[in-house]
Amino acid sequence: MTVRLGIDIGATSIKYGVIDNEGRILFADRAPTRGADGQKAVLDGIVACARRMVEWCSNAGHAPETVGIGSPGTINPHTRRVQPPTPNLKAIIGIDLAGLVRSALGLPTVIDNDANCAAWAEHRFGAGRGIDNLICLTVGSGIGSGFIVDGRIFSGHSGSGAELGHVSIDWQGGSCPCGSRGCLENYTSAIALMRRASEAANREPSSELSKLRDGPGGSVSIAGLFDAAHAGDRTARSILDEAALQFAIGVLGAINLFDPEAIIIGGGVADADSQGLWLTAIRDNIHRHAFSVSGKSIPVGKAALGNDAGFIGAAALPQE
Ligand SMILES: [Zn+2]
């Protein structure tokens, strides 16, 4: 059986797994990234994960064909080294991770941005299977996005394309660490939503939201925000309604530019939206405000592969 190895490097953990040709997970595990322990610890950890998969394959009687790596930051298309910014994992900047794993294992190894890998996984095996023009967003502590254009990952001239989290929805908005103002990520990421919910809870002590704080003046979790909204709390609903409109306006810029066939949304915020309340509001706003006939009826759905999308997509990346 043909099997491939995938590694998804995150700020806190490295998720990795062995998949078959259909994207089925045969083996998966995770290890701490150890970013605080310095560069050697991080790089040794990545190689150790790769070796662990090779060992598993050997015991299971599989010969792995290739390795793929999903990485934070962007990948220089010429040198294949990780480019900044990677604010939560500086140890990998400037490193040729694919070269490192290739020389350790002796297997063909490729690398791409983690959000691109997640989009590729959904395109090959998940909610976007068979769809050649696709935008996939991962809404977690930040907002990652991957664009599949004509069946290929779109990375742009320098590997930095398709960064929807840093498309501005307000030229007068607050400064973003990226250098711009009013970036989408500052309004609708998990961190931004928690901040908005916590501020509202402090302002309105009688709201349902306020009861979900972790102590007086404390913060509200994403699960708490959705729980309050599901229970009918008007403050929670209005935060999610406004965030859905803001998210839709950001995504509409990409829809009007790229004319995709579908939008897929995953990540921690999408997962917390168990009743599809936020997703439905996003879909309605996109359909209401889209420019094209196609955009006014574009499918907007939930990602299918969850936290595994990163390593599945990495494993399935086309080899260069
Ligand atoms: Zn930004």
Q: Tell me what percent of the chain is helix, strand and coil, each rounded to the nearest 5.
A: 45, 20, 35
78 assigned to some structural domain = yes
Return the pLDDT at 130. 93
- The pLDDT value recorded for residue 223 is 94
Confidence of residue 255 (pLDDT cuts 50, 70, 90): very high
* Domain membership flag for residue 208: yes
**Residues 68 and 172 reside in one and the same domain:** no
Q: What mean pLDDT comes out for the span 297-312?
A: 97
What is the average per-residue pLDDT within 118-147?
Answer: 96
User: Span 155-162, mean pLDDT?
Assistant: 94
Q: Are residues 118 and 191 in the same domain?
A: no
Instruction: List, as ranges, residues with CB under 5 A of the ion ligand 1.
Output: 166, 176, 178, 180, 183
- Centre of ligand 1 from the C-alpha of residue 108, in Å: 34
Q: State the CB neighbour count (10 A cutoff) for residue 238.
A: 12
| Spacing, Cα 186 to ligand 1 middle (Å) | 8
Going from the Cα of 166 to the center of ligand 1, the distance in angstroms, rounded, reads: 4
28 and 13 within one domain: yes
Q: pLDDT-derived band of residue 34, with 50, 70 and 90 as boundaries?
A: very high
Distance 168 CA to ligand 1 centre (A): 7
Is residue 271 within 8 A of residue 306, CB to CB? The reply is: yes
Distance from the alpha carbon of residue 307 to the mean position of ligand 1, in angstroms: 24
Q: Are residues 88 and 139 in the same domain?
A: no
115 CA to centre of ligand 1 in angstroms? 16
pLDDT at 218 (0 to 100) = 84
Quote the ligand 1 centre to 179 CA distance (angstroms): 6
Ligand 1 centroid distance, CA of 21 (Å) = 37
Based on the fold, state whether residues 273 and 218 are members of the same structural domain.
yes
At residue 215, the pLDDT reads: 79
Same domain, 233 and 144: yes
Q: Give the residue from 220, 309, 320, 215 showing the smallest Cα distance to 272.
A: 220
Q: What is the mean pLDDT of the chain?
A: 95
Please tell me the distance between residue 64's alpha carbon and the centre of ligand 1 in angstroms. 39
pLDDT of 151 reads 97
In angstroms, what is the span from residue 192 Cα to ligand 1's centroid?
Answer: 13
The total of other beta-carbon atoms located within 10 Å of residue 258's CB is 16
Tokens for 204, please give them. Answer: 């309105």
209 Cα–ligand 1 center, Å: 28
Q: Ligand 1 center to residue 106 CA distance, Å?
A: 38
Q: pLDDT category, 85, cuts 50, 70, 90? A: confident
Say what the pLDDT of residue 310 is.
97
The alpha carbon of 36 and the centre of ligand 1 are apart by a number of angstroms equal to 25
Average pLDDT over residues 218-244: 94
Same domain, 32 and 170: no
Question: Residue 265 has what pLDDT?
Answer: 98
User: Mean pLDDT, to the nearest integer, of 1-5?
Assistant: 92
Residues 189, 268 share a domain? yes
Would residue 320 count as lying in a domain?
A: no
Segment 30-44 shows an average pLDDT of 96
* CA distance linking residue 181 with residue 177, whole number of Å: 9
Does a structural domain hold residue 178?
yes
Distance from residue 188's CA to the centre of ligand 1 (Å): 12
* pLDDT band, very low/low/confident/very high, at 6 (cuts 50, 70, 90): very high
Quick one: pLDDT band at residue 87, thresholds 50, 70, 90?
A: confident
Query: Tens digit of pLDDT for each residue in 179-220?
Result: 999 999 999 999 999 999 999 999 988 888 888 888 777 899
Percentage, residues of the chain above pLDDT 90: 90
Residue 263 lies in a domain: yes
211: domain CATH number? 3.30.420.40
- Number of domains the chain is built from: 2
Statement to judge: residues 229 and 280 lie in one domain: yes
Q: Are strands 82-83 and 143-149 parallel, antiparallel or unpaired?
A: unpaired
| Residue-range definition of the domain harbouring residue 53 | 2-124+308-315
The CA-atom distances, in angstroms, between 55 and each of 61, 101, 120, 153 are: 10, 15, 26, 31
Q: What is the pLDDT of residue 2?
A: 85
How, if at all, do strands 109-113 and 63-71 pair?
parallel
pLDDT tens-digit readout, 270-304: 999 999 999 999 999 999 999 999 999 999 999 99
